[in-house]
Structure 1
Amino acid sequence: MKIAYVYDAVYPWVKGGVEKRIREVSVRLADRGHEVHVYGMRSWDGPAVLERDGVTLHGVCPGEALYSGGRRTVPQALRFGSSVLRPLLASGADVVDCQNFPYFSCFSAKGASMMRGIPLVVTWHEVWGDYWYDYLGPRGVFGKAVERLAAGLTEHHIAVSPSTARALEGLGVTGPVPVVPNGIDTERIAAVAPAAEGSDVIFTGRLIREKNVDVLLRALVPVREEVPDLRALVVGDGPERPALEALARDLGLDGAVTFTGFLPDHDAVIAAMKASRVFVLPSTREGFGIAALEAMACGLPVVTTDHSGNAAADLVVPGVSGFRSGLSAGEMGGRILAALDLHRTRASDCRAAAAAYDWGRIVDILEKVYQNS
């Protein structure tokens, strides 16, 4: 089978969750004998077409910044969307898998699908719905309209989480939507040794408003009353870091909480997780929550928010692999204390739950979806 993936950012030049997913499934599909092509911006030096790990990468337009002022830029999305049509028409693909965001490329993929008579699959990492108004203000009506139009382009959709599949119903998608989640490399995670310095609680991710790390900090105050020598790590960086560091000082947590910034590589993050006891993700916007899954693979119970925009909540089996919490500091603090106890007895259950998301199993599901499209 000849498979074409469409997404503007290409791994490893851009290292986000969508880019990593495409890279992981592409390499494994190629290993199984499929011919896999990835169409994105040319963010590398050298020829526009190159091969890496058995996968052919196509740079359909020059690379450029994806964000301006913290938001995805419309001109960039339009340029990529218009540039990918002709290469897709010439691709000879048996199936096109286009990632839903940033939408305009979905319309070009639909054009190629119609003209060449090949199935189009749209993979949905999130459905924003009314969140468009938070993101763009009154102009969010246009983003919401484009999202709904993209949902009507094909009968073949993939959702990366059950919550995203449910949200697609609100966009008018009928019939069951297969859920093909993101995955983890369980063998590689198992091979990483714990970091030398341990912690009780760890968070990893971008320090942005939607992650609600301020709620985590406030929740640590009652936790510290029960665990006087509490040690917490906040791994990551972002625009909220100065305010969060100031809040930690104001709460008297400056001796208990360490802000590490981004660590050197992914193995260092896994090592830090393995040296901790509980992973906390207080986010209200997660298309999947890969960091939570990696933490479970390290044996850590996860405390995350019970919020409609947080797909990581779907990963947690309460009382087994963690807990769901509201956004009050008191409730989250109680859940963290319960998870610290859970770590003593359920670490193996956390690892077993994460094993179901090994990339090999994910590719098994994905192959069947493509074959039935």
Structure 2
Amino acid sequence: MGKPATERRLKVALVIGGLPYGGVETSFLLVARRLRELGHEPVIINVSGTGEYESVYREYGFDPIHAGESKKVLKTSRLDTALRLRRILRDLNPDIIHTAHFSANYHVRIGAVGLGIPVIMHCRNIKRMKSFRRFADKVLSRITTKYLAVSKAVAEVVQQDHNVAGRPVQVLYNAISSEKMNVEPADLSEFPQLEGQGPLVVVCSRLVKQKNVDVIIRAFVRALDAVPDMRMLVMGDGSERDALTALAVGEGVADKVAFAGFRQDAPALLRAAAARKAVFAMVSDYEGFSNALTEAMYCGIPAVISEHVPNREVTGEAARVVPIDEASVAASLETILTDAELYDRMSTQAVTVAEQLTIEPHVDDLVAVYRELVGGDEL
């Protein structure tokens, strides 16, 4: 059973499906580091036991516990995964179980039946799951103590697709590390495509279809007539990278678009982009709450986003919300980059908003949730 509420130190099991490079994995690492700084005991459980980002966790002194050794253990037909997690959780006896990723949410809640430990399911995306996953989430809502949603839009999906048991749902926006962001600007000279001092259109995301980076490239081409010295920086990797590179060639802008791949130094590159004047573009079909967008805003970079990017709930004037079509995106890029007064207002608002979305207040709110569920403010 969970520990009594009179103990000050919280043991928190942070359970994740795998540890590839990604926003969820970065968020959990930030949470774990801050919990440890506050004197709590975060324990990382990697259900699949896979993912190159695990090495970064180890650099910060976290040694993830593996429930498996391949992605095969994530299949919903694998009851042994849930039983293995149950044994791990029983041995750990944490005060709180906090999960992310469908695979972790699914197997942990089955494994946690009868253990008496509160289970928080952290929901991070507005994409509707396939029918079996929606059915499983509805059934398993009875084993869920509380839902956290990274935006109001995600909370609506939780209520629709998960929460038949009527559990409490709380919105807790994603947070970024101010320590990580307070760096010197990178040297952009490694990218010959960015030569000069003209403004930049910046993309930082996985290069997959849902992100619609092709729309942004075509919009960039259109906007060049109004802003001829503009260049484009694309950070990230994924299945669409080759197609996007070919698109830049086909549109005749390969010499103006730099594909940087996945970058550990993304904050320094954002700082460099901000120094030249930049707009961050994200016109995804769906998102949860983008940390990359918040990081860009922290550097004073305004944004052009689609209505499906839930950060719009907090961005205010820092972002223009547009339909997902190249003409609309291009028009907003042109307006922001050619109206100095507008750019300055948007940039100031971006910093103001992003400075409120840092990890310290985020974890304070998270610990308050933990205390509430364990039972007592004296923790």
Corresponding residue pairs, total: 344
Deviation at 1:348, TM superposition (A): 2.6
Q: Specify which structure has the bigger relative contact order, considering alpha-carbon pairs within 8 angstroms and separated by 6 or more residues.
A: 2
Corresponding residue to 2:183 among 191, 196, 205: 191
Preserved contact between residue 159 and residue 179 of structure 1 (Cα < 8 Å): yes
Distance across 1 between alignment mates of 2:262 and 2:219: 23
Preserved contact between residue 147 and residue 167 of structure 2 (Cα < 8 Å): no
Match of 1:326 in 2: 323
Match of 1:157 in 2: 147
Preserved contact between residue 31 and residue 54 of structure 1 (Cα < 8 Å): no
Match of 1:69 in 2: none
Deviation at 1:176, TM superposition (A): 5.2
Match of 1:292 in 2: 293
Match of 2:29 in 1: 23
Match of 2:7 in 1: none
Alpha-carbon distance change, 100 to 200 in structure 1, aligned in 2, over 3 angstroms: closer
Q: CA RMSD in A?
A: 2.8
Q: Deviations over 1:12-53 (max 9, x none)?
A: xx32222211111111111111122121144599xxxx9875
Match of 1:90 in 2: 91
Preserved contact between residue 300 and residue 347 of structure 2 (Cα < 8 Å): yes
Q: What is the TM-score when the length of structure 1 is the normalising length? A: 0.83
Q: Deviations over 1:257-287 (max 9, x none)?
A: 2222233544454345434511001111212
- Structure 2 unaligned regions, length at least 5: 1-9, 190-196, 374-379
Distance across 1 between alignment mates of 2:297 and 2:119: 34
Q: What is the TM-score when the length of structure 2 is the normalising length? A: 0.81
Alpha-carbon distance change, 61 to 242 in structure 1, aligned in 2, over 3 angstroms: closer
Deviation at 1:81, TM superposition (A): 3.5
Preserved contact between residue 201 and residue 231 of structure 2 (Cα < 8 Å): yes
Which aligned pairs between 1:29-178 and structure 2 lie closer than 5 A? 29-41=35-47, 42-43=49-50, 53=60, 55=62, 57-62=64-69, 64-65=70-71, 74=75, 80-102=81-103, 103-111=105-113, 114-115=114-115, 117-129=116-128, 132=129, 140-171=130-161, 173=163, 174=166, 177-178=169-170
Q: What secondary structure sits across from 2:293 in the alignment?
A: helix
Q: Deviations over 1:52-92 (max 9, x none)?
A: 75656322332x248xxxxx962797664442111101212
Corresponding residue to 1:4 among 4, 13, 18: 13
Distance across 2 between alignment mates of 1:73 and 1:55: 22
Which aligned pairs between 1:202-281 and structure 2 lie closer than 5 A? 202-263=202-263, 265-275=265-275, 276-281=277-282
Distance across 1 between alignment mates of 2:221 and 2:43: 50
- The amino acid that maps onto 2:40 is H
Alpha-carbon distance change, 153 to 128 in structure 1, aligned in 2, over 3 angstroms: farther
Q: Deviations over 1:160-182 (max 9, x none)?
A: 22211121121253465212222
Preserved contact between residue 147 and residue 168 of structure 2 (Cα < 8 Å): no
Deviation at 1:187, TM superposition (A): 3.2
Deviation at 1:195, TM superposition (A): 3.5
- Structure 1 unaligned regions, length at least 5: 67-71, 133-139
> Residue 283 in 1 paired to residue 284 in 2?
yes
Alpha-carbon distance change, 249 to 75 in structure 1, aligned in 2, over 3 angstroms: same
Distance across 2 between alignment mates of 1:224 and 1:278: 14
